[in-house]
Amino acid sequence: MKTIDGGVTAPQGFKAASCAANIKYENREDMALIYSEDVCKVAGTFTRNVVKAAPVIWDRNIVNNNIGVQAIVVNSGIANACTGDEGISMCIKTAQAASSALHIPYEGVLVASTGVIGMQIPMDKIKNGINDMVPKLSYDNDAAHGAAQAIMTTDTIPKEAAVSVEIGGKEVVIGGMSKGSGMIHPNMCTMLAFVSSDVNISEEMLKKALSIVVEDTYNMISVDGDTSTNDTCLLLANGRAGNDIIDSEGPDFDAFTEALFEVNRTLAKMMAGDGEGANALFEVKVVGADNVANAKTLAKSVVTSSLTKAAIYGHDANWGRILCALGYAGVDFDPENVDLYFESKAGKLQIVSKGVSTGYSEEEATKILSEDAVTAICDMHMGDAKATAWGCDLTHEYVSINADYRS
Protein backbone atom coordinates (compact mmCIF):
# COMPACT_ATOMS: atom_id res chain seq x y z
CA MET A 1 0.00 0.00 0.00
CA LYS A 2 1.24 3.45 -0.80
CA THR A 3 -0.14 6.94 -0.34
CA ILE A 4 -0.78 8.77 -3.61
CA ASP A 5 -1.81 12.26 -4.63
CA GLY A 6 -5.44 13.13 -5.18
CA GLY A 7 -8.91 12.54 -3.78
CA VAL A 8 -12.19 11.14 -5.05
CA THR A 9 -11.04 11.09 -8.69
CA ALA A 10 -7.89 9.08 -7.96
CA PRO A 11 -9.51 5.69 -8.75
CA GLN A 12 -10.27 4.90 -12.39
CA GLY A 13 -13.62 6.05 -13.77
CA PHE A 14 -14.52 8.73 -11.23
CA LYS A 15 -15.02 12.39 -12.17
CA ALA A 16 -15.73 15.43 -10.02
CA ALA A 17 -16.79 19.04 -10.40
CA SER A 18 -17.72 21.98 -8.19
CA CYS A 19 -19.37 25.37 -8.59
CA ALA A 20 -20.56 28.50 -6.81
CA ALA A 21 -24.33 28.11 -6.53
CA ASN A 22 -24.77 30.97 -4.03
CA ILE A 23 -26.83 28.77 -1.71
CA LYS A 24 -25.68 30.60 1.38
CA TYR A 25 -22.05 31.57 0.98
CA GLU A 26 -20.87 34.32 -1.33
CA ASN A 27 -17.66 34.41 -3.36
CA ARG A 28 -16.92 30.71 -2.90
CA GLU A 29 -17.94 27.36 -4.36
CA ASP A 30 -20.63 25.56 -2.40
CA MET A 31 -21.71 22.61 -4.56
CA ALA A 32 -19.87 19.45 -5.58
CA LEU A 33 -20.68 16.59 -7.91
CA ILE A 34 -19.08 13.15 -7.99
CA TYR A 35 -19.85 11.02 -11.04
CA SER A 36 -18.94 7.47 -12.02
CA GLU A 37 -19.20 6.32 -15.63
CA ASP A 38 -20.02 2.83 -14.41
CA VAL A 39 -22.82 1.89 -12.06
CA CYS A 40 -21.23 1.51 -8.61
CA LYS A 41 -21.88 -0.72 -5.67
CA VAL A 42 -22.44 1.43 -2.62
CA ALA A 43 -21.98 1.20 1.13
CA GLY A 44 -22.95 3.91 3.59
CA THR A 45 -23.10 4.66 7.28
CA PHE A 46 -25.32 7.39 8.67
CA THR A 47 -26.02 9.41 11.79
CA ARG A 48 -27.67 7.66 14.72
CA ASN A 49 -29.37 10.91 15.69
CA VAL A 50 -33.17 10.47 15.93
CA VAL A 51 -33.43 13.74 14.00
CA LYS A 52 -32.18 12.73 10.56
CA ALA A 53 -31.71 15.22 7.75
CA ALA A 54 -33.70 14.56 4.58
CA PRO A 55 -30.63 13.53 2.52
CA VAL A 56 -29.80 10.89 5.17
CA ILE A 57 -33.27 9.39 4.73
CA TRP A 58 -32.94 9.51 0.94
CA ASP A 59 -29.45 7.97 0.83
CA ARG A 60 -30.16 5.30 3.42
CA ASN A 61 -33.00 4.00 1.30
CA ILE A 62 -30.69 3.71 -1.72
CA VAL A 63 -27.92 2.01 0.26
CA ASN A 64 -30.28 -0.41 2.02
CA ASN A 65 -31.94 -1.46 -1.22
CA ASN A 66 -28.68 -2.06 -3.08
CA ILE A 67 -29.59 0.37 -5.84
CA GLY A 68 -26.62 0.99 -8.14
CA VAL A 69 -25.23 4.51 -7.86
CA GLN A 70 -23.59 6.80 -10.39
CA ALA A 71 -23.59 10.25 -8.80
CA ILE A 72 -23.45 12.17 -5.53
CA VAL A 73 -24.69 15.79 -5.36
CA VAL A 74 -23.47 17.74 -2.34
CA ASN A 75 -24.20 21.26 -1.16
CA SER A 76 -22.78 23.22 1.76
CA GLY A 77 -24.47 26.13 3.56
CA ILE A 78 -27.86 24.56 4.27
CA ALA A 79 -28.22 21.15 5.94
CA ASN A 80 -31.75 20.30 4.77
CA ALA A 81 -32.45 19.01 8.30
CA CYS A 82 -35.67 19.66 10.27
CA THR A 83 -37.32 20.54 6.97
CA GLY A 84 -40.22 18.08 7.02
CA ASP A 85 -41.81 16.69 3.86
CA GLU A 86 -40.54 19.63 1.83
CA GLY A 87 -36.99 18.58 2.69
CA ILE A 88 -37.53 15.07 1.29
CA SER A 89 -39.12 16.55 -1.79
CA MET A 90 -35.96 18.63 -2.31
CA CYS A 91 -33.85 15.45 -2.34
CA ILE A 92 -36.08 13.91 -4.99
CA LYS A 93 -35.97 17.06 -7.11
CA THR A 94 -32.17 17.25 -6.74
CA ALA A 95 -31.82 13.62 -7.86
CA GLN A 96 -34.18 14.27 -10.77
CA ALA A 97 -32.19 17.34 -11.87
CA ALA A 98 -28.94 15.33 -11.80
CA SER A 99 -30.69 12.49 -13.59
CA SER A 100 -31.75 14.79 -16.46
CA ALA A 101 -28.37 16.46 -16.77
CA LEU A 102 -26.34 13.21 -16.58
CA HIS A 103 -28.80 10.88 -18.36
CA ILE A 104 -28.79 8.36 -15.51
CA PRO A 105 -31.64 6.94 -13.37
CA TYR A 106 -32.62 9.32 -10.57
CA GLU A 107 -32.69 6.43 -8.06
CA GLY A 108 -28.92 6.20 -8.54
CA VAL A 109 -28.23 9.76 -7.37
CA LEU A 110 -27.15 10.21 -3.76
CA VAL A 111 -27.62 13.60 -2.11
CA ALA A 112 -25.78 15.18 0.82
CA SER A 113 -26.12 18.54 2.54
CA THR A 114 -24.30 20.32 5.35
CA GLY A 115 -24.80 23.70 6.98
CA VAL A 116 -27.54 25.45 8.92
CA ILE A 117 -30.40 23.31 10.25
CA GLY A 118 -34.03 24.28 9.63
CA MET A 119 -33.80 26.24 6.36
CA GLN A 120 -35.23 24.94 3.10
CA ILE A 121 -32.90 24.32 0.15
CA PRO A 122 -33.36 26.86 -2.71
CA MET A 123 -34.20 24.41 -5.50
CA ASP A 124 -33.56 26.79 -8.39
CA LYS A 125 -30.00 27.39 -7.23
CA ILE A 126 -29.39 23.65 -6.84
CA LYS A 127 -30.66 23.00 -10.39
CA ASN A 128 -28.52 25.77 -11.83
CA GLY A 129 -25.56 24.41 -9.92
CA ILE A 130 -26.03 20.89 -11.31
CA ASN A 131 -26.34 22.20 -14.87
CA ASP A 132 -23.24 24.30 -14.31
CA MET A 133 -21.19 21.35 -12.97
CA VAL A 134 -22.04 18.57 -15.43
CA PRO A 135 -20.01 20.00 -18.36
CA LYS A 136 -17.09 20.64 -15.97
CA LEU A 137 -16.81 17.02 -14.72
CA SER A 138 -13.18 15.94 -14.89
CA TYR A 139 -10.78 13.14 -13.86
CA ASP A 140 -8.18 15.69 -12.71
CA ASN A 141 -6.93 15.94 -9.17
CA ASP A 142 -7.83 19.61 -9.40
CA ALA A 143 -11.49 18.74 -9.93
CA ALA A 144 -11.44 16.51 -6.84
CA HIS A 145 -9.70 19.24 -4.91
CA GLY A 146 -12.32 21.79 -5.97
CA ALA A 147 -15.05 19.43 -4.77
CA ALA A 148 -13.30 18.94 -1.41
CA GLN A 149 -13.18 22.73 -1.00
CA ALA A 150 -16.79 23.26 -2.04
CA ILE A 151 -18.21 20.98 0.68
CA MET A 152 -16.47 22.87 3.51
CA THR A 153 -18.49 24.84 6.08
CA THR A 154 -16.44 26.07 9.04
CA ASP A 155 -13.57 23.82 7.94
CA THR A 156 -10.37 25.76 7.35
CA ILE A 157 -8.67 23.19 5.09
CA PRO A 158 -10.00 20.76 2.47
CA LYS A 159 -9.60 17.11 3.44
CA GLU A 160 -8.49 14.55 0.87
CA ALA A 161 -6.61 11.26 0.89
CA ALA A 162 -5.80 8.51 -1.59
CA VAL A 163 -3.90 5.24 -1.52
CA SER A 164 -2.97 2.56 -4.01
CA VAL A 165 -2.77 -1.11 -3.07
CA GLU A 166 -2.07 -4.30 -5.04
CA ILE A 167 -4.89 -6.84 -4.79
CA GLY A 168 -4.72 -10.09 -6.75
CA GLY A 169 -2.01 -8.65 -8.98
CA LYS A 170 -4.03 -5.56 -9.88
CA GLU A 171 -3.58 -1.99 -8.68
CA VAL A 172 -6.61 -0.91 -6.69
CA VAL A 173 -7.01 2.77 -5.82
CA ILE A 174 -9.09 4.31 -3.05
CA GLY A 175 -9.67 8.08 -2.87
CA GLY A 176 -11.73 10.15 -0.52
CA MET A 177 -12.74 13.55 0.70
CA SER A 178 -14.52 14.70 3.82
CA LYS A 179 -15.71 17.77 5.65
CA GLY A 180 -16.46 18.32 9.28
CA SER A 181 -15.44 20.84 11.88
CA GLY A 182 -18.36 21.36 14.29
CA MET A 183 -21.06 18.95 15.52
CA ILE A 184 -18.33 16.33 15.51
CA HIS A 185 -18.73 13.53 18.00
CA PRO A 186 -18.20 9.81 17.77
CA ASN A 187 -21.56 8.27 17.05
CA MET A 188 -21.26 7.22 13.46
CA CYS A 189 -19.46 9.70 11.26
CA THR A 190 -20.68 13.13 12.41
CA MET A 191 -19.56 14.62 9.14
CA LEU A 192 -19.69 14.05 5.39
CA ALA A 193 -17.20 11.68 3.80
CA PHE A 194 -17.20 10.44 0.22
CA VAL A 195 -14.86 7.62 -0.72
CA SER A 196 -14.45 6.11 -4.16
CA SER A 197 -12.62 3.02 -5.33
CA ASP A 198 -12.11 1.05 -8.51
CA VAL A 199 -12.00 -2.19 -6.55
CA ASN A 200 -14.06 -5.13 -7.76
CA ILE A 201 -15.99 -6.28 -4.70
CA SER A 202 -19.40 -7.62 -3.72
CA GLU A 203 -21.96 -5.33 -2.14
CA GLU A 204 -21.85 -7.37 1.06
CA MET A 205 -18.08 -7.22 1.44
CA LEU A 206 -18.04 -3.50 0.55
CA LYS A 207 -20.48 -2.80 3.39
CA LYS A 208 -18.57 -5.03 5.77
CA ALA A 209 -15.29 -3.24 5.04
CA LEU A 210 -16.87 0.16 5.60
CA SER A 211 -18.47 -0.89 8.89
CA ILE A 212 -15.17 -2.15 10.23
CA VAL A 213 -13.30 0.98 9.19
CA VAL A 214 -15.86 3.52 10.44
CA GLU A 215 -15.76 2.10 13.96
CA ASP A 216 -12.07 2.89 14.37
CA THR A 217 -11.89 6.12 12.40
CA TYR A 218 -14.88 8.49 12.23
CA ASN A 219 -16.47 6.95 15.31
CA MET A 220 -13.34 7.78 17.30
CA ILE A 221 -13.22 11.52 16.65
CA SER A 222 -14.87 14.31 18.60
CA VAL A 223 -14.82 18.06 18.34
CA ASP A 224 -17.66 19.10 20.60
CA GLY A 225 -19.82 16.17 21.62
CA ASP A 226 -22.64 17.15 19.31
CA THR A 227 -23.74 14.35 16.98
CA SER A 228 -25.00 15.92 13.79
CA THR A 229 -28.28 15.28 12.00
CA ASN A 230 -26.48 14.87 8.68
CA ASP A 231 -23.58 12.50 9.30
CA THR A 232 -22.96 10.48 6.21
CA CYS A 233 -20.14 8.34 4.89
CA LEU A 234 -20.62 6.98 1.39
CA LEU A 235 -18.31 4.50 -0.35
CA LEU A 236 -18.64 3.77 -4.06
CA ALA A 237 -16.90 0.93 -5.92
CA ASN A 238 -17.00 0.59 -9.70
CA GLY A 239 -14.88 -2.54 -10.25
CA ARG A 240 -12.60 -0.98 -12.88
CA ALA A 241 -9.39 -2.24 -11.26
CA GLY A 242 -10.18 -5.66 -12.72
CA ASN A 243 -9.15 -7.68 -9.68
CA ASP A 244 -10.93 -10.99 -9.06
CA ILE A 245 -14.09 -10.08 -7.25
CA ILE A 246 -13.73 -9.89 -3.46
CA ASP A 247 -16.81 -11.78 -2.26
CA SER A 248 -15.59 -13.28 1.02
CA GLU A 249 -13.11 -12.62 3.79
CA GLY A 250 -9.48 -13.45 3.10
CA PRO A 251 -6.21 -11.77 2.12
CA ASP A 252 -7.79 -9.64 -0.63
CA PHE A 253 -10.53 -8.39 1.68
CA ASP A 254 -7.95 -7.66 4.39
CA ALA A 255 -5.73 -5.74 1.95
CA PHE A 256 -8.68 -3.65 0.78
CA THR A 257 -9.90 -3.01 4.33
CA GLU A 258 -6.44 -1.96 5.44
CA ALA A 259 -6.16 0.50 2.55
CA LEU A 260 -9.68 1.78 3.22
CA PHE A 261 -8.74 2.25 6.88
CA GLU A 262 -5.70 4.29 5.89
CA VAL A 263 -7.74 6.70 3.72
CA ASN A 264 -10.44 7.13 6.33
CA ARG A 265 -8.10 7.47 9.29
CA THR A 266 -6.29 10.24 7.42
CA LEU A 267 -9.57 12.02 6.72
CA ALA A 268 -10.78 11.52 10.31
CA LYS A 269 -7.59 12.91 11.83
CA MET A 270 -7.72 15.88 9.47
CA MET A 271 -11.26 16.60 10.68
CA ALA A 272 -10.30 16.38 14.35
CA GLY A 273 -7.27 18.62 13.87
CA ASP A 274 -9.41 21.08 11.92
CA GLY A 275 -12.12 21.12 14.60
CA GLU A 276 -13.87 24.47 14.88
CA GLY A 277 -11.42 26.99 16.26
CA ALA A 278 -8.82 24.29 16.98
CA ASN A 279 -5.15 25.10 17.39
CA ALA A 280 -4.05 21.51 17.89
CA LEU A 281 -4.92 17.91 17.06
CA PHE A 282 -5.40 16.10 20.39
CA GLU A 283 -4.84 12.36 20.22
CA VAL A 284 -5.71 10.09 23.15
CA LYS A 285 -4.25 6.59 23.21
CA VAL A 286 -5.55 4.21 25.84
CA VAL A 287 -3.37 1.13 26.27
CA GLY A 288 -3.42 -1.77 28.72
CA ALA A 289 -7.23 -1.78 28.98
CA ASP A 290 -9.13 -4.97 29.84
CA ASN A 291 -11.03 -4.97 26.54
CA VAL A 292 -11.34 -2.90 23.37
CA ALA A 293 -14.82 -1.55 24.16
CA ASN A 294 -13.58 -0.15 27.46
CA ALA A 295 -10.44 1.23 25.81
CA LYS A 296 -12.61 3.10 23.30
CA THR A 297 -14.95 4.42 25.99
CA LEU A 298 -12.03 5.70 28.06
CA ALA A 299 -10.27 7.31 25.08
CA LYS A 300 -13.48 9.02 23.97
CA SER A 301 -14.20 10.30 27.46
CA VAL A 302 -10.83 12.06 27.66
CA VAL A 303 -10.93 13.43 24.11
CA THR A 304 -14.41 14.84 24.82
CA SER A 305 -13.69 16.52 28.17
CA SER A 306 -14.12 20.28 27.83
CA LEU A 307 -11.81 20.92 30.76
CA THR A 308 -9.06 18.73 29.32
CA LYS A 309 -9.46 20.35 25.90
CA ALA A 310 -9.20 23.83 27.40
CA ALA A 311 -6.05 22.76 29.26
CA ILE A 312 -4.53 21.52 25.98
CA TYR A 313 -5.31 24.94 24.51
CA GLY A 314 -3.45 26.50 27.44
CA HIS A 315 -0.49 24.07 26.99
CA ASP A 316 -1.14 23.12 30.60
CA ALA A 317 -0.26 19.57 31.74
CA ASN A 318 -3.41 19.47 33.86
CA TRP A 319 -3.34 15.68 34.21
CA GLY A 320 -5.92 15.68 37.01
CA ARG A 321 -8.58 16.51 34.43
CA ILE A 322 -7.52 13.50 32.34
CA LEU A 323 -7.74 11.14 35.32
CA CYS A 324 -11.07 12.73 36.17
CA ALA A 325 -12.37 12.14 32.63
CA LEU A 326 -11.21 8.51 32.72
CA GLY A 327 -13.02 8.22 36.04
CA TYR A 328 -16.42 9.33 34.81
CA ALA A 329 -16.30 7.31 31.58
CA GLY A 330 -18.39 4.56 33.15
CA VAL A 331 -15.59 1.99 33.09
CA ASP A 332 -14.32 0.40 36.26
CA PHE A 333 -10.58 0.59 36.96
CA ASP A 334 -8.14 1.18 39.77
CA PRO A 335 -6.94 4.81 39.64
CA GLU A 336 -3.82 3.78 41.53
CA ASN A 337 -2.65 1.65 38.61
CA VAL A 338 -2.85 4.35 35.95
CA ASP A 339 0.23 5.77 34.20
CA LEU A 340 -0.02 8.84 32.01
CA TYR A 341 2.32 10.28 29.37
CA PHE A 342 2.26 13.32 27.08
CA GLU A 343 3.95 13.04 23.69
CA SER A 344 4.49 15.23 20.63
CA LYS A 345 7.23 16.07 18.14
CA ALA A 346 8.96 17.82 21.05
CA GLY A 347 9.33 14.62 23.07
CA LYS A 348 7.64 12.20 25.46
CA LEU A 349 7.22 12.66 29.23
CA GLN A 350 5.71 10.51 31.98
CA ILE A 351 3.38 12.70 34.04
CA VAL A 352 1.61 10.22 36.31
CA SER A 353 2.81 6.97 37.80
CA LYS A 354 0.36 4.74 39.66
CA GLY A 355 -2.23 7.51 39.86
CA VAL A 356 -0.02 10.25 41.32
CA SER A 357 2.26 12.88 39.85
CA THR A 358 5.81 11.83 38.88
CA GLY A 359 7.08 15.28 39.85
CA TYR A 360 7.77 15.96 36.14
CA SER A 361 9.10 19.28 34.83
CA GLU A 362 6.17 21.63 34.06
CA GLU A 363 8.42 23.49 31.65
CA GLU A 364 9.19 20.33 29.65
CA ALA A 365 5.49 19.35 29.68
CA THR A 366 4.45 22.76 28.36
CA LYS A 367 7.03 22.46 25.59
CA ILE A 368 5.57 19.10 24.52
CA LEU A 369 2.00 20.48 24.68
CA SER A 370 2.87 23.51 22.55
CA GLU A 371 3.07 21.49 19.31
CA ASP A 372 0.18 21.45 16.84
CA ALA A 373 -0.41 17.73 17.42
CA VAL A 374 -0.23 16.34 20.97
CA THR A 375 -0.90 12.87 22.35
CA ALA A 376 -1.95 11.72 25.80
CA ILE A 377 -1.17 8.07 26.50
CA CYS A 378 -3.14 6.44 29.33
CA ASP A 379 -1.83 3.04 30.45
CA MET A 380 -4.51 1.31 32.53
CA HIS A 381 -2.35 -1.76 33.38
CA MET A 382 -5.34 -4.09 33.20
CA GLY A 383 -4.75 -6.03 29.97
CA ASP A 384 -3.65 -5.75 26.35
CA ALA A 385 -6.54 -3.86 24.74
CA LYS A 386 -6.01 -0.45 23.22
CA ALA A 387 -7.84 2.30 21.31
CA THR A 388 -7.10 5.73 19.90
CA ALA A 389 -9.44 8.72 19.75
CA TRP A 390 -8.86 12.05 18.06
CA GLY A 391 -10.11 15.48 18.97
CA CYS A 392 -8.84 19.00 19.36
CA ASP A 393 -8.32 21.74 21.91
CA LEU A 394 -11.17 24.02 23.04
CA THR A 395 -10.40 27.60 22.10
CA HIS A 396 -11.86 31.09 22.23
CA GLU A 397 -12.32 30.78 18.49
CA TYR A 398 -14.67 27.78 18.93
CA VAL A 399 -16.98 29.94 21.02
CA SER A 400 -16.75 32.82 18.56
CA ILE A 401 -17.63 30.60 15.61
CA ASN A 402 -20.59 29.03 17.36
CA ALA A 403 -22.01 32.07 19.06
CA ASP A 404 -22.22 33.57 15.62
CA TYR A 405 -22.65 30.71 13.15
CA ARG A 406 -25.94 31.72 11.55
CA SER A 407 -25.30 35.42 11.12
- Which range binds a copy of itself by CB under 8 A, 23-31, 44-52, 58-66, 140-148? 44-52
Determine, following the binding rule CB under 8 A, whether residue 396 of this chain makes contact with a copy of itself: yes
206/298 Cα distance (integer angstroms): 30
Smallest separation, CB 277 to a copy of itself (Å): 9
Per-position x/- string for 145-184, each x denoting binding to a copy of itself as judged by CB under 8 A, each - no binding? -------------------------------------xx-
Number of H helices, E strands in the chain: 11, 15
Active site residue 190: yes
- Run of H or E residues at 124: helix 123-133
Could you say whether residue 402 binds a copy of itself (CB under 8 A)? Answer: yes
Report how far residue 230's alpha carbon sits from residue 207's, in angstroms, rounded to the nearest whole number: 19
- Told to check if 303 binds a copy of itself by CB under 8 A, we report no
User: DSSP letter string over 183-210?
Assistant: S--SSS-SSEEEEEE---B-HHHHHHHH
3-state SS track over 320-366: HHHHHHHHCCCCCCCHHHCEEEEEECCEEEEEEECCEECCCCHHHHH
Question: Does residue 64 sit in helix, strand or coil?
Answer: helix
Return the residue of 46, 256, 282, 398 that touches a copy of itself, per CB under 8 A.
398
Beta carbon of residue 315, minimum distance to a copy of itself (angstroms, whole number): 8
186 binds a copy of itself (CB under 8 A): no
Does residue number 319 form part of the binding site for a copy of itself (CB under 8 A)? yes
Q: For residue 118, how many C-alpha atoms fall within 13 Å in the half-sphere facing its CB?
A: 1
Burial letters 48-74, b for 16+ CB under 10 A, else e: ebeebbbbbebbbebbeeeebbbbbbb
Task: Closer to a copy of itself by CB, 26 or 50: give it.
Answer: 50
- If binding is defined by CB under 8 A, does position 361 make contact with a copy of itself? no
Size of the site for a copy of itself (CB under 8 A): 66
Q: Which range in 160-168, 246-254, 281-289, 318-326 contacts a copy of itself by CB under 8 A?
A: 318-326
CA-CA distance, 68 to 62, in Å (whole number)?
8
**Smallest distance from the beta carbon of 56 to a copy of itself, in angstroms?**
11
Using CB under 8 A, which of the segments 17-25, 245-253, 258-266, 396-404 binds a copy of itself?
Answer: 396-404
Sign of CA dihedral 109, 48, 42, 30: positive
- Among 94, 190, 217, 232, which one carries the catalytic annotation? 190
Question: How far is the C-alpha of 151 from the C-alpha of 280, rounded, in Å?
Answer: 22
CA distances from 59 to 16, 54, 62, 67, 202 (A): 19, 9, 5, 10, 19
Among 2, 57, 107, 118, binds a copy of itself (CB under 8 A): 118
Q: Report the site for a copy of itself in 224-253 (rule: CB under 8 A).
A: 224-229
Identified binder of a copy of itself from the candidate list 12, 70, 75, 83, rule CB under 8 A: 83
Q: Which residues are catalytic, by number?
A: 190
Binding site for a copy of itself (CB under 8 A): 48-52, 79, 81-84, 116-118, 182-183, 185, 187, 224-229, 304-307, 310-311, 313-314, 316, 318-321, 323-329, 331-333, 335-336, 352, 354-357, 394-396, 398-407
